[in-house]
Amino acid sequence: MATSDISSPYYGMTDAQLTAALTSAQQAYIQLRMGSKVVTVSYAQGGGSRSATFQQTDMANLRMLIAELQQALNPGVCIRRRRPMKPLF
CATH for 15-73 (2.20.100, 3.30.70, 1.10.260, 3.30.1580): 3.30.1580
Q: Is the dihedral of CA 50, 54, 21, 64 positive or negative?
A: negative
Pick the closest to residue 45 from 88, 2, 89 (CA basis). 2
Q: Is the model's pLDDT at 86 over the cut of 80?
A: yes
Residues whose CB is less than 8 angstroms from the CB of residue 38 and which lie 6 or more positions away in sequence, other chains included: 53, 54, 55
Alpha helices, DSSP H, located in the chain = 15-33, 59-73
Of 57 and 54, the one with more pLDDT: 54
pTM of the full predicted structure?
A: 0.58
Of 64 and 79, the one with more pLDDT: 64
Q: How many C-beta atoms lie closer than 10 Å to residue 78's C-beta?
A: 7
Of 2 and 72, the one with more pLDDT: 72
Q: Is the model's pLDDT at 70 over the cut of 80?
A: yes
